[in-house]
Amino acid sequence: PIQLRDGCFCNAGACQRALGLTDDQIQDNFLVAGHVCGDKKDVINGRVTGAIRASFGKDSIWEDVDALLSFLASKFTSVEI
């Protein structure tokens, strides 16, 4: 099995840095837009507020990897795997 998560994964500072958000943008996201961890506000003022992560576990198998790669290729690229 694969789990997909989105957001900042409980590390707002690393998320801010990875997304290139300024301190003012982070404050505006919270104070003006009301963005908090776990909400559904994925884009504010044209900028994403988090990332997507695929997690594999001890019961994951190679076919799970193939399924994820096929999904990503079919939805987000013009290349077939």
From 8, 10, 15, 37, active-site residue: 10
The candidate with the shortest Cα–Cα distance to 60, out of 4, 10, 12, is 4
Assess whether 10 carries a catalytic annotation. yes
How far is the C-alpha of 73 from the C-alpha of 28, rounded, in Å?
A: 35
Residues annotated as catalytic are: 10
